[in-house]
Amino acid sequence: MIWCLRAPDAVDVIEDNLVCQLEPPSEGRGVPEWFAERATGFTAEQRAAIVAFLESYRARHEAHGPAGAPSAHATNALAYWTRPPEAGA
């Protein structure tokens, strides 16, 4: 995430891939078990860092993306990461 913020042009598609990996799977897309294994156990500070990264990504995408459209992947990921973690997660 740090390099994506420092040099987004240098990391190329890694930034987009990272955002997609932070997005929970939707109906018919992705593997829920894979995501669940990787999206648990984060501290409040770590979750806040993920949220800050996603907000930055979405703001840049809206400013420079096609017709200022928001990134659906970042929006979906933010919906997940801004809610309180499930008990035991």
What tens digit of pLDDT does each residue of 16-69 get? Answer: 889 989 999 987 677 788 888 989 999 999 999 999 999 999 888 777 666 656
Question: 37: closest CA among 20, 48, 24?
Answer: 24
Single pTM value for the model = 0.81
According to the model, what pLDDT value does residue 53 have?
95
Enclosing H/E stretch for 40: none
According to the model, what pLDDT value does residue 88 have?
47
User: Which 8-state DSSP code applies to residue 43?
Assistant: -
